[in-house]
């Protein structure tokens, strides 16, 4: 494999991961704004479905080596990260709690972690 072919494979592997991420964003938007919505609007259905279909079509048209290497790369990542909490959860157990309607969610940071985090002063 010469330099140009390796560069092309690397670019397609990047596209492999990016297109999967964009498909996930479209699924999340569909679930949030259409499936879980009280009022079903066609305007909230079409863009995420169209975005997902376009990303899927692009993803299916990647080269065979890019799909194989990208799948191995993704499975290795899943295998290495399964069973481990995210770094942020290990370092600082952050929790959200409902306060009021004006500020619906406030970040509850344990006192031990608060010492390490410096917040800029609020400007009104």
Q: Does 60 share its domain with 33?
A: yes
Tell me how far apart the alpha carbons of residues 42 and 53 are, in angstroms, rounded to a whole number.
16
Quick one: pLDDT at residue 111?
A: 58
Residue 50's nearest CA partner among 71, 22, 12, 84 is 22
Do 72 and 92 lie in a common domain? no
Q: What is the pLDDT of residue 53?
A: 97
Question: In this structure, what are the phi and psi dihedrals at residue 92, rounded to the nearest 5 degrees?
Answer: -145, 110
Pick the closest to residue 26 from 13, 45, 39 (CA basis).
45
Q: What total of structural domains would you count in the chain?
A: 2
Residue 115: what pLDDT? Answer: 54
CA distances for 72 relative to 6, 24, 34, 77, angstroms? 17, 19, 33, 9
Provide the domain limits for residue 109: 87-116
- Give the whole-number percent of the chain exceeding pLDDT 70: 64
Query: Do both 29 and 63 map to the same domain?
Result: yes
Gap between the Cα atoms of 40 and 124, Å rounded? 38
Asked if 23 contacts 74 with a C-beta cutoff of 8 angstroms, the reply is no
Q: Identify the pLDDT of residue 26.
A: 96
Does 121 map to a domain? no
Question: Along the chain (124 residues), what's the average pLDDT of each consecutive run of 10 residues?
Answer: 76 91 95 89 92 96 91 88 63 50 55 56 58
Tokens of residue 124, six digits: 């009104």
What does the pLDDT read at residue 94? 47
């Amino acid at each position: 494999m010469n330099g140009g072919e390796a560069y092309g494979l690397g670019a397609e592997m990047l596209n492999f991961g990016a297109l999967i991420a964009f498909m996930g964003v479209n699924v999340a938007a569909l679930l949030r704004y259409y499936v879980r919505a009280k009022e079903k609007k066609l305007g909230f259905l079409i863009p995420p479905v169209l975005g997902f279909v376009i990303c899927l079509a692009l993803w299916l048209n990647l080269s065979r080596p890019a799909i194989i290497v990208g799948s191995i790369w993704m499975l290795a990542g899943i295998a290495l990260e399964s069973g481990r909490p995210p770094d942020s959860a290990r370092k600082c157990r952050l929790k959200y709690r409902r306060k009021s309607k004006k500020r619906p969610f406030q970040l509850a940071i344990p006192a031990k972690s608060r010492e390490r985090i410096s917040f800029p002063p609020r400007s009104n």
